[in-house]
Structure 1
Amino acid sequence: MTDADCIFCKIVAGDIPSTQVRETERVIAFRDLYPKAPTHVLVIPKDHYANVAELAAADPALAGEVLAVAAEVAAAEGVDGPGWRLFANTGADGGQDVFHVHFHVVGGKPLGPMVAA
């Protein structure tokens, strides 16, 4: 399933170029265009799910595969030893701006606190 207007669906289809770092049959990982750290990779399911809750409800096995690919990316990027962060923004108040579920693998420097007090 895809959404014709979704930028990530267009990346999956090959209509928009990306710098891929990992791909499985159902998951793709590519570098963020506006990295917030030396390592900043987005990991997404190829099928379109709007957010984490929708993915988890519809296909828990795929959600697990996305997490496994994220860990593989962290290891391949060399941030698994010193530490890395995995997060998914969900909903407008959560900071989500592309409504195709995506997880950020971020590392390569000390990241500090997750949310400012």
Structure 2
Amino acid sequence: MGGSECLFCDILNNKKSAQRILETDDFIVIENKYPKAPIHLLVVDKTHREKSDTMAGAYQNESYWDKLFQAVHEAVVKLNLDKMGYKVVINESKYYHYGHEHVHVVGGGLGEVDSGEIRL
């Protein structure tokens, strides 16, 4: 876990706190500090990978995305979002605040999540 002054690396290294929902070999799932929905999770890569690299295909290993979405699935089932409905959001370019690869899982049964800016 690397990345100087990376919030997610600090969380992974227990230098900053976050409410952990679950952990796999490759990802942690945490609650978003600034939720945009009743349930707003972040699925964070345990390895510091820049979003610009993963989205540009630097990690063309299919198992990377399989493992990421397996972590999403486990969190969704654990919190019963599979019964309420949810969205998976991948912010890119001007829409992300942190380069460390992560995805948002938002839901919780209050209708559509607004299209406003989703941030950590």
Say what the alpha-carbon RMSD is for the aligned residues.
Answer: 2.0
Gap runs ≥5 in structure 2:
none
1:87 matched to which residue of 2? 89
1:68 matched to which residue of 2? 70
Provide the rounded CA distance (Å) in 2 between the counterparts of 1:61 and 1:17.
Answer: 29
Matched pairs, number = 113
1:64 is displaced (CA, Å) by: 1.5
Per mean C-alpha deviation after superposition, the further-off stretch among 81-90 and 27-36 is 81-90
Partner secondary structure for residue 81 of structure 2? coil
Instruction: Give the TM-score of the pair, scaled to structure 2.
Output: 0.84
1:17 matched to which residue of 2? 17
Partner secondary structure for residue 11 of structure 1? helix
Provide the rounded CA distance (Å) in 1 between the counterparts of 2:20 and 2:40.
Answer: 12
Gap runs ≥5 in structure 1:
none
Instruction: Give the TM-score of the pair, scaled to structure 1.
Output: 0.85
2:97 matched to which residue of 1? 97
Q: Retained in 2: the 8 A contact 1:52–1:88?
A: no
